[in-house]
Amino acid sequence: MVTLARTPRLVSGLQWYALLGPPLSWTVQLVLGYYTTQAACGAAASRLGVEVHTWNAVLTVAALAVAAGGWASAAALHAATGGGDVDDPLGRIRFLSTAGLAIGIIFVTLILFTGAGVLALPECRR
């Protein structure tokens, strides 16, 4: 079995995923959601068959999966540093995993609120 102490690249990758995964997934959801809304409300929407609620539901689920994975990575690193499974003499990994836990919760909430807002509102208002 491979432990985290023997794979510092895995620890580093999980650490950066825990910190950057949730905010980047929310950013992608926000930007792509904006463009799908603009595409659905434009003149080409009738020809292309763009369904705003379907696309935004898919974006919300995908962003939520990435953000929840980042939060889970932060939780795993936090538990691993607390249990002594990861060598962390300076406390850097524990500090950044704690930050990842806070960031993950914030951005999971933002993704849920953004998705709920887009799905609750009517498609186009002119």
Per the CB < 8 A criterion, the answer to whether 77 and 100 are in contact is yes
pLDDT tens digit sequence for 38-61: 877 776 666 666 677 888 899 999
CB atoms within 10 A of CB 46: 9
**Cβ contacts of 45 within 8 Å, gap of 6 or more:** 39
pLDDT of 6: 52
Most trustworthy range by pLDDT among 45-49, 62-66, 75-79, 86-90:
62-66
pLDDT at position 44, please? 63
Q: How confident is the model at residue 31 (pLDDT cuts 50, 70, 90)?
A: very high
> What would the two tokens of residue 115 be?
């998705």
Query: Cα–Cα distance between 61 and 67 in angstroms, integer?
Result: 10
Asked if residue 25 lies in contact with residue 66, where contact means CB atoms within 8 angstroms, the answer is yes
Greater confidence (80 vs 1) lies with 80
Q: What is the pLDDT of residue 82?
A: 81
Name the residue ranges covered by the structural domains of the chain.
9-120
Cα 16 from Cα 121, distance rounded (Å): 35
